[in-house]
Structure 1
């Protein structure tokens, strides 16, 4: 049965949620690490793992899809495709969540979302 199988809506309309996740994904690929709430990071993990899988696939249609998922940043896409051997032997688990305590304002659980290197 597929009870409770889905995604977290993060209390946002669809267009805002997708835009937020795309901008977080761009930040992760630029800086290899981003600090965000636990709920956002769990949803971001799905998107980032999918993008890395598309990069490893390497054909033209996957490149165009990655460009659309990364807000049209072609320079970032070139960097990803140039360094795609970074995740070559790994079949999944491209990211990790590290607990970072609670946010001061509303006590939300904060995590560090970072990419796992191939050497680690």
Structure 2
């Protein structure tokens, strides 16, 4: 029985799933928009919203908790400095999923996961590697 087991396992082991979702959330905050399959987007959205809630709290413990999920210090700094201010007056709903149809190769349902305050021109200019 799978009573009270929330979340989609996505056909992966727990370590693979955890690593994949961490990478997706890191990419989402770095580029502010990612293209992926719809089930992966739904799972990554949960983790991304939790990270923004941590950033809104803003204390040292919250930053360390975010660093456990997001491995890049520069992305965590962006989250706690730039993105935090954008979402201080919003209670939840920090991301949006836009369904884009089926992928040509295997007909997987694709989606765009993006931050609600995403602007096309700003994120490309703000990327520094």
TM-score by length of 1: 0.91
Work out the number of aligned pairs and report it: 116
Runs of 4+ in structure 1 deviating by more than 6 angstroms, as ranges, are none
SS at match of 2:101: strand
Name the CA distance, whole Å, in 2 between partners of 1:63 and 1:8.
27
Q: Which consecutive unaligned segments of at least 5 residues does structure 1 have?
A: none
TM-score by length of 2: 0.85
Q: Give the match for residue 76 of structure 1.
A: 75
SS at match of 1:67: helix
Task: Give the 5 Å matches for 1:38-77.
Answer: 38-71=38-71, 73-77=72-76
Q: Which consecutive unaligned segments of at least 5 residues does structure 2 have?
A: 120-129
What is the aligned-residue RMSD (CA, Å)? 1.6
Name the CA distance, whole Å, in 1 between partners of 2:73 and 2:30.
12
Deviation per residue, 1:40-98 (Å, 9 max, x gap): 00001100000000000011111001011102x11111111111111110010000011
Name the CA distance, whole Å, in 1 between partners of 2:23 and 2:55.
18
